[in-house]
Amino acid sequence: MFTGIVTDIGTVSALEHRGDLRARIACTYDVTGIDIGASIASDGVCLTVVGLGTDWYEVDISAETLEKTNLGTWQVGQRVNLERALRVGDELGGHIVSGHVDGVADIVSMSDEGDSTRVHLRAPAELARFIASKGSVALNGTSLTVNDVQGDVFGINFIPHTKDVTTWGDAGVGDLVNLEIDTLARYVARLADAS
């Protein structure tokens, strides 16, 4: 489990196509404290550490994950949002995030509002019903509050701090974004469907 509070920005330093895609991600984490088999959310996708170096870790990315996320667009040199798995006693500063991406949204517009940036994204039609104004979503692993919803398009704001400590300062119209809907919204919808 994760919180959607990004704790490092990594850089994709190598990609190797095998049966799966092997990615090496450089980071500033103390890798001596990372075990093989640990989970690290990388752009919001829970990935298992399969290799470690002095300042990097490696993960294998399955065809299923490549199909359901934006990880298939990764390129060497790309920056990615990172978060280590939640430990008992850690502060829950965002919301409960599983790292199991539901789909890919695309950025349809961006505009500055004061020092913040308003971003509108289009969600896949089958996920739009789970997104509510003032609810939570995880986008590329970042816990965010939804400002407004119109059909399958929803808006969020990025304050300067978020743009500085995540990759959101690099975002542009047309970018594909990993979307994880709020777990609570999923269960409420399931209960409503059962009624």
17-27 pLDDT tens trace: 988 999 999 99
Q: Where in the chain is the domain with CATH 2.40.30.20?
A: 8-84, 103-194
Measure Cα distances from 94 to 3, 5, 66, 135 in Å: 5, 6, 26, 12
Q: What is the pLDDT of residues 121-146, one digit of tens each?
A: 999 999 999 999 999 999 999 999 99
Provide mean pLDDT across the span 81-110: 86
Predicted structure pTM score? 0.92
Q: What is the pLDDT of residues 144-189, one digit of tens each?
A: 999 999 999 999 999 999 999 999 999 999 999 999 998 776 667 6
Hey, which CATH number is domain 103-194, 3.40.50.720, 3.40.50.10420, 3.40.50.300, 2.40.30.20?
2.40.30.20
Q: Which CATH class is domain 8-84?
A: mainly beta
Residue 106 predicted with pLDDT over 80: yes
Closest CA to 131 of 194, 81, 180, 195: 180
Distance separating alpha carbons of residues 42 and 141, to the nearest angstrom: 7
pLDDT of residue 195: 64
The CA-based dihedral angle spanning residues 124, 128, 132, 133, taken in that order and rounded to the nearest 10 degrees: 60
More confident residue, 92 or 142: 142
